[in-house]
Amino acid sequence: MTRWLIAAATAGFITVAAASIYAASNAPDGSWVPGSGSRGIILPRDAELAATNGNALLVDVREPDEIQHGAPLGANASFPFRLDGSRDEDFVAEMVGVVRGKLDTKIIRLCATGVRSAAARDLLLDHGFENVKSLVGGFVAWQRDGLPIVAGRSQAGR
């Protein structure tokens, strides 16, 4: 129980800290504004607005079994990202294909809590992608904010 409380308190602190950093790098209307440096973050409501307005591509990097339990409406499922680096080359190659070689495409990455999507963002930026952000708090925050979800989606046709 104590570990869970510490984890929850830490996650809450990280979300608040990220929101403070984030505030200077994103416009309130969901438009894309580069922040300080290129390693950006975005909050769920703004990510949903940017994706809905066609300002960014929302891409889910979770494993297929995670996506089966629900996914953000409008999110594209990608090759799952793994923190151990075992699939980095395949992951980058697939993303180059998804954006048809246009490395300046605005992309918002999301995972369950924001850890994998931040690492995926960094990997893509290190490989020449120019406009990649990570969804703060991931799918957990998306659900918490009551944003639209598609239930039971598979990764078929990713």
Q: Which residues pair with 76 in a beta bridge?
A: 59
54 belongs to a structural domain: yes
| Full-model pTM | 0.74
137 belongs to a structural domain: yes
pLDDT of residue 77: 84
155 belongs to a structural domain: no
24 belongs to a structural domain: yes
157 belongs to a structural domain: no
130 belongs to a structural domain: yes
Q: Is 94 left (phi over 0), alpha (psi -120 to 50) or beta?
A: alpha
| CA 80/CA 135 separation, integer angstroms | 16
Provide the domain count of the chain.
1
pLDDT tens digits for range 2-35 = 444 444 444 554 544 444 444 444 454 444 444 4
156 belongs to a structural domain: no
14 belongs to a structural domain: yes
Q: CB–CB of 117/134 below 8 Å?
A: yes
126 vs 24, residue with greater confidence? 126
* Residues whose CB is less than 8 angstroms from the CB of residue 114 and which lie 6 or more positions away in sequence, other chains included: 14, 18, 134, 135, 136, 137, 138, 141
Catalytic site positions:
111
What range does the domain containing 108 cover? Answer: 2-150
25 vs 108, residue with greater confidence? 108
Closest C-alpha among 57, 148, 154 to residue 110: 57
Residue 37 belongs to a domain with what CATH number? 3.40.250.10
